[in-house]
Amino acid sequence: MSEADVATKAPESDAQETVIPGDTPAQSGPTMGEHCTSDRPTPAGLSSKGELRKLGGVDVYLAKPDSYPTNPSKLLLLLSSGTGIKSTNNQIQADKFANEGFVVVMPDLFDGNPAPNSSVPEAEAEGTSLLDKFKLKAVEIAKSFMIDEWLARHTEEKVMPILEKVIDACRGEFADAVGNGGGIYAVGYCFGGRYVLLLASERTQVQTGWGGTQKPTDEEAGEGANATKKGPYIKAGALAHATLVSPDDFHGLKVPVSLVCVESDPMFPDEVRETGENIMSKINLEHEVQVYPGVPHGFAVIGDYNDANIKDAQVTAFEQMLRWLKEH
């Protein structure tokens, strides 16, 4: 049993905490659930310390070590879940990496339009009549459609240009940190996890749907002949409970990646993960994959849980990602 398995093993009763009303049930395709679109309560006594500002014309949350720029630092992109850069929990997550010596840039991947909350609060559902509960369920279904519409507005074609602008700006304003690290590092959670894979790849620029499926090139229009390759943009990456990932996203990977995964995660199905592992092994890519049982999707992001096993898993996942960055 791996260290992650030991650290996160939870009894069957813990599964009750992982089921949150509104979290997408059995998936027929890639999408996002409650854990990707709303935050857990912020742990008591924690608050963010960085700043919201513009970088390369893009809104970002910036967190820096207290000793920067006197002491050398490295540049880290943090790619968030659908809750975006104004989420206190996401900001605290960035601060944690800054405390470890990274200049952390968390870009607004959604151009000021974070994901709509996908669930009805439990308090609203308790103590209501059967008819009222039916109405609340209808509201949840409507919100699910809202998330799909939101995803359709935030495709790879929209997000990658945002990241390219931020990366170019980082190479200018934080050239010392980029140079000290020998490149740019990246971590990603939920929605942002897939984009760590894309930044770690050399890829032909083709249109894709929001689920990551590549659209065929138009040979008559000459798209195939004019296609250009880009990337990789980063030196190494780590991602936790990614969403919207397809097997195609593992092709073209060129830099070391570490994956924090949730056992039996409908947002990142086992078959996709296993296919990805096979692809990475076949191309001799340096990688690691740790599967955490008994934890909910989204567990690695700062947030308060009652269950000690989930709290321990948060610590272990952060240590896994941090170690990977420091070793590379």
Radius of gyration for the alpha carbons in the chain, expressed in angstroms and rounded: 20
The label of the residue with tokens 């959604």 reads: 110
**Ramachandran angles phi, psi of 39, nearest 5°:** -95, 150
With a cut of 80, say whether residue 11 has pLDDT above it. no
With a cut of 80, say whether residue 221 has pLDDT above it. no
Q: What confidence tens digit (pLDDT) does each residue in 155-208 have?
A: 999 999 999 999 999 999 999 999 999 999 999 999 999 999 999 999 886 555
Structure tokens at 11: 């009894």
pLDDT of residue 227: 67
CA–chain centroid gap for 295, Å, is 16
pLDDT of residue 143: 53
With a cut of 60, say whether residue 51 has pLDDT above it. yes
Say which residue, 7 or 328, is predicted with more confidence. Answer: 328
Q: What confidence tens digit (pLDDT) does each residue in 15-38 have?
A: 333 333 333 333 344 456 566 677
E-strand spans in the chain?
A: 51-55, 58-63, 74-79, 102-107, 184-189, 203-204, 229-230, 236-240, 257-262, 287-292
What is the value of pTM for the model shown? Answer: 0.79
Structure tokens at 104: 């952390």
CA separation for the pair 60, 56 (Å, rounded): 9
